[in-house]
């Protein structure tokens, strides 16, 4: 009665999760968080029109969703001025990253990313047996030149770049990204994760050029559109690159309600403006709270603010733990030099009142711990 | 400006879809179907309590779903009398099949299934470079002895078996499956797809034995529970086998509403009884319509009836095309000898009225075509 062997790749993989979810942390703590500011979700919620679309479509959930996401792709194509054949939908950017990595990465293949960037991408690269090279952030920005250099040195097949980036919240203007694209080595695909693009200043997103098979853009309804729990995102790219998803994707994997909700979300540009304004207001408030406590908020092009706690990684981790112990769910960057910071998602006024109340005692506690240590 | 190379496996894969969805077929036709009887969905819909759960949870969709599906797994563990560590949730059985194949299949690995069984499983096996051996159905049933023999001969790491099966609608009693499990070669895992189990006669499902690492059971909310569009299913197995999913699964891939909806569905046993009764009534009606037209309905333990059209594969395909041309969406088995049949999902009274009206002219048309041929 012996079980089936795992593949060579799977055998070597740890059983892991790229992030511990807030619900799991709550179960460990035994109590709920009073402010959920750790997952860069949109506390402002989806558009009221999205809620109506969900309600209207709910009785139809006995039907599988359209495996082609035809209506949504048509709307997205119009929205972005591209062809439907240049768009593929997926169950969030996580699902799309899985597919693009699976298509291109096997043992012996090199991939380049920034140290401290999205762990789920790294999880996929490891999951398909690739070799990951990480280059450090520079001045709290991802470093296109270093990424290109590493890609050239390692003969990388993929480069991952988020713009705006998580976890620092910084961004590059479109020209920097366009210059990077122009300098991509042959045979290397730039996976440009634009999860936060709707919240970034104008001029952050390069013009979409679907004639270039070396760039694929990832977008999501999880952030500005407030639909993280609906699991829907999309990729835009050259038609041949997009068509390759048909080799491996889970065709019936996108929920019926998710497609309807995304259509409604895309159409409600007014709600997006409201969210943008709320996010800008919350960013300012978080930055203000940081400064009042002697900390340094970094500029943010996203729906979170990364705060430099000023005393290194151990201090930042102690501040994070002290906030979590006070019911404030936040996260922090994983890697040097970002890990001198904590990362706080935009919240409601009440969420930020609670953060503002918890931060001074958390800093005091962390300060004592450091002085004792 | 040359794109990134695909992996050796991906390079060899076709861009394909295991099924053409009904929406795609409607777009090709230019008109909507008047009866949707081809995807074995549950026209009776989800429980009204599911709809209320979706409505109640909708404002929370700005939050990611719990990546551990904790509450749902707890409820499922109670329901099945197993431990939470013996259950993993996924985005439908399709998603779970992807993970189990990915964990075990690499080039050089043999896998066994029945010829004409679920194409999405085959899609995954090809997608990870495995070698698939297909054994024929026998007497319109999957053939455990032949599957075991082929597994032994090829040193297979996985056997796929659906019970009740799709597309014939037949089933084996639990004892046959238990005997098969007892005879599994060492190192071979039985992937037991029980998508239709809630609609099968008592005594179809073997007792769940999570001490055995050679069996994994796949269940779904897409069929009897009427939630195909919500993308949620689960697997039950030995804790080590279940834990291996953590190596590769998309942890945040299950929607927040889907988890809430599944909890509500599982709790509403009354609705499940109503659906069972409706399915039984619709099966009888479909069988009656078949007989009235001189065709032979096969016994069904599912929410569809497979109908032997009596004149071979070409005739059955012509009947299918003639029904589709009349707005009746159905499918048919892909492979000999099942492809002498058409497959009709249980429908509403109106759906089946339309099927009953379309079948005689479709048969007449197919008969003429055959006589002309």
Q: State mean pLDDT over B310-335.
A: 97
B204: Cβ contacts below 8 Å, ≥ 6 apart: B163, B164, B171, B172, B173, B174, B197, B301
DSSP secondary structure string, A74-104?
HHHHHHHT--GGGEEEESHHHHHHHHHHHHH
> Does the pLDDT value for residue A132 go beyond 70?
yes
Partner A contacted by B291 (CB < 8 A): no
Residues A22 and A67 reside in one and the same domain: no
> Does the pLDDT value for residue A1 go beyond 80?
no
Partner B contacted by A74 (CB < 8 A): no
pLDDT at A232: 98
Partner B contacted by A11 (CB < 8 A): no
Is residue B233 one of the residues assigned to a domain? yes
pLDDT at B370: 84
Q: State mean pLDDT over A125-129.
A: 97
Residue B271 with chain A: CB contacts under 8 Å: none
Residue finishing a domain among A219, A241, A267: A267
Residues A179 and A37 reside in one and the same domain: no
Range of the domain at A92: 48-267
**Do residues B292 and B355 touch, judged by C-beta distance below 8 A?**
no
Kindly report the number of other CB atoms within 10 A of residue A310's CB atom: 12
pLDDT at A217: 98
> Does the pLDDT value for residue A129 go beyond 90?
yes
Residue finishing a domain among B267, B286, B311: B267
pLDDT at A360: 98
Burial of B211 (0-12, 13-18, 19+ CB in 10 A): exposed
Q: Of B128, B19, B97, which is closest to residue A102 (Cα–Cα)?
A: B128
pLDDT at A373: 61
**Each residue of B288-312: pLDDT tens digit?**
999 999 999 999 999 999 999 999 9
Residues A207 and A276 reside in one and the same domain: no
pLDDT at B373: 61
Q: Which of A6-20, A120-134, B84-98, B155-169 comes out lowest in average pLDDT?
A: A6-20
Partner A contacted by B25 (CB < 8 A): no
pLDDT at A371: 83
* Structure token digits, residue A241: 């690159």
* Structure token digits, residue A349: 């006024």
Nearest CA of chain B to the CA of A18: how many Å? 8
**Each residue of B110-125: pLDDT tens digit?**
999 999 999 999 999 9
Determine whether the interchain pair A103/B212 forms a contact, defined as Cβ–Cβ distance below 8 Å.
no
ipTM value > 0.85: yes
Rounded to whole angstroms, the Cα distance separating A47 from A226 reads: 8
**Each residue of A228-275: pLDDT tens digit?**
999 999 999 999 999 999 999 999 999 999 999 999 999 999 999 999
Q: Which of A307-321, B204-218, B359-373 comes out lowest in average pLDDT?
A: B359-373
β-strand partners of B217? B192, B236
> Does the pLDDT value for residue A42 go beyond 80?
yes
Of all residues in chain A, the one with the smallest CA distance to B259 is: A229
End-to-end CA distance of chain A: 53
* Structure token digits, residue B208: 């769940």
Mean pLDDT of the residues in chain A: 97
pLDDT at A212: 98
Which of B92, B118, B252 best probes binding to A when mutated, by most A CB atoms within 10 angstroms? Answer: B252
Find residues 34-73 of chain B whose CB sits inside 8 Å of chain A.
36, 39, 41-46, 50-51, 54-55, 58-68, 70
pLDDT at B353: 98
**Tokens 């151990």 identify what position?**
A314
Residues B24 and B52 reside in one and the same domain: no
Residues B67 and B196 reside in one and the same domain: yes
**Each residue of A135-185: pLDDT tens digit?**
999 999 999 999 999 999 999 999 999 999 999 999 999 999 999 999 999
Is residue B2 one of the residues assigned to a domain? no
CATH code for position A26: 3.90.1150.10
Nearest CA of chain B to the CA of A12: how many Å? 9
Is residue A125 one of the residues assigned to a domain? yes
| Cα angle for residues B54, B56, B62 (degrees, 5° grid) | 80
Is residue B96 one of the residues assigned to a domain? yes
**Tokens 């007497």 identify what position?**
B139
Buried b (16+ CB within 10 A) or exposed e, B235-271: bbbbbebbebbebbbbbbbbbbbbbbbbbbbbebeeb
Residue A67 with chain B: CB contacts under 8 Å: 17, 19, 21, 23-24
Residues A24 and A60 reside in one and the same domain: no
**Do residues A305 and A267 touch, judged by C-beta distance below 8 A?**
no
How far CA A33 is from CA of B63, B138, B139, in Å, comes to 13, 57, 58
For chains A and B, what is the number of CB pairs under 8 angstroms? 286
Is residue B250 one of the residues assigned to a domain? yes
Residues A122 and A163 reside in one and the same domain: yes
Pick A19 or A56 by higher pLDDT. A56
* Structure token digits, residue A293: 């406590």
Is residue A13 one of the residues assigned to a domain? no
Q: Which of A301-310, A364-373, B50-59, B140-149 comes out lowest in average pLDDT?
A: A364-373
Residues B217 and B355 reside in one and the same domain: no
Residue finishing a domain among B267, B289, B305: B267
Determine whether the interchain pair A54/B59 forms a contact, defined as Cβ–Cβ distance below 8 Å.
no
Residues A296 and A197 reside in one and the same domain: no
Rounded to whole angstroms, the Cα distance separating B205 from B41 reads: 21
Rounded to whole angstroms, the Cα distance separating A132 from A154 reads: 10
CATH code for position A192: 3.40.640.10
Is residue B25 one of the residues assigned to a domain? yes
Mean pLDDT of the residues in chain B: 97
Residues B180 and B254 reside in one and the same domain: yes
Rounded to whole angstroms, the Cα distance separating A298 from A313 reads: 16
* Tally of structural domains, chain A: 2
**Do residues A339 and A333 touch, judged by C-beta distance below 8 A?**
yes
Find residues 166-225 of chain B whose CB sits inside 8 Å of chain A.
186-189, 212-214, 222
Residues A320 and A242 reside in one and the same domain: no
Q: Is B199 helix (H, G, I), strand (E, B) or coil?
A: helix
Is residue A8 one of the residues assigned to a domain? no
Angle between helices A256-267 and A48-57 (to 10 degrees): 150
Which of A247, A256, A258, A264 best probes binding to B when mutated, by most B CB atoms within 10 angstroms? Answer: A247
Q: State mean pLDDT over A205-225.
A: 98
> Does the pLDDT value for residue B1 go beyond 80?
no
Q: Outline where DSSP puts E strands in chain B.
A: 35-36, 87-90, 110-114, 131-135, 158-162, 189-193, 215-220, 233-237, 296-297, 304-308, 328-329, 341-345
Partner B contacted by A275 (CB < 8 A): no
Q: Is B133 helix (H, G, I), strand (E, B) or coil?
A: strand
Residues A234 and A343 reside in one and the same domain: no
- The shortest CB-CB distance from A229 to any of B64, B98, B102 is to B64
Which of B2, B13, B62, B223 best probes binding to A when mutated, by most A CB atoms within 10 angstroms? Answer: B62
Rounded to whole angstroms, the Cα distance separating A320 from A71 reads: 43
* Structure token digits, residue A221: 């309804």
Beta strands across the sheet bearing A158-162: A87-90, A233-237, A215-220, A189-193, A158-162, A110-114, A131-135
Rounded to whole angstroms, the Cα distance separating B113 from B142 reads: 9
pLDDT at B186: 97
pLDDT at A18: 77
Q: State mean pLDDT over B213-221.
A: 98
pLDDT at B313: 97
Kindly report the number of other CB atoms within 10 A of residue A145's CB atom: 13
């Amino acid at each position: 009665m012996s079980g089936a062997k795992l593949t060579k790749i799977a055998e070597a993989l740890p059983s892991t999760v790229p992030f511990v979810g807030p619900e799991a942390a709550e179960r460990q703590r035994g109590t709920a968080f009073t402010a959920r500011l750790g997952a860069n979700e949109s506390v402002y919620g989806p558009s009221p029109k999205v809620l109506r679309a969900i309600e209207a479509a709910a009785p139809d959930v006995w039907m599988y969703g359209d495996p082609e996401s035809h209506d949504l792709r048509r709307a997205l194509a119009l929205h972005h001025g591209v062809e439907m054949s240049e768009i593929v939908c997926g169950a969030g950017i996580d699902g799309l990253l899985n597919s693009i990595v699976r298509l291109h990465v096997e043992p012996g293949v090199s991939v380049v990313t920034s140290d401290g960037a999205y762990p789920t991408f790294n999880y996929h690269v490891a999951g398909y047996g690739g070799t990951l090279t990480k280059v450090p952030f520079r001045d709290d920005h991802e470093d296109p030149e270093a990424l290109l250099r590493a890609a050239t040195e390692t003969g990388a097949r993929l480069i991952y770049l988020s713009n705006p980036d998580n976890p620092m919240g910084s961004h590059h203007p479109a020209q920097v990204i366009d210059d990077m694209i122009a300098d991509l080595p042959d045979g290397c695909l730039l996976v440009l994760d634009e999860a936060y693009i709707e919240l970034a200043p104008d001029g952050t997103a390069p013009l979409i050029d679907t004639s270039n098979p070396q760039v694929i853009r990832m977008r999501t309804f999880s952030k500005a559109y407030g639909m993280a729990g609906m699991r829907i995102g999309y990729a835009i790219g050259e038609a041949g690159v997009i068509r390759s998803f048909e080799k491996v994707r889970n065709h019936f994997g996108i929920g019926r309600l998710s497609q309807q909700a995304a259509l409604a979300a895309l159409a409600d540009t007014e709600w997006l403006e409201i969210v943008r304004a709320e996010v800008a207001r919350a960013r300012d408030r978080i930055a203000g709270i940081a400064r009042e406590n002697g900390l340094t908020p970094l500029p943010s092009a996203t729906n979170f603010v990364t705060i430099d706690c000023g005393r290194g990684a151990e201090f930042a981790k102690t501040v994070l733990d002290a906030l979590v112990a006070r019911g404030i769910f936040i996260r922090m960057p994983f890697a040097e030099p970002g890990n001198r910071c904590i990362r706080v998602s935009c919240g409601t006024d009440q969420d930020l009142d609670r953060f503002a109340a918890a931060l001074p005692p958390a800093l005091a506690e962390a300060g004592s711990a450091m002085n004792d240590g």
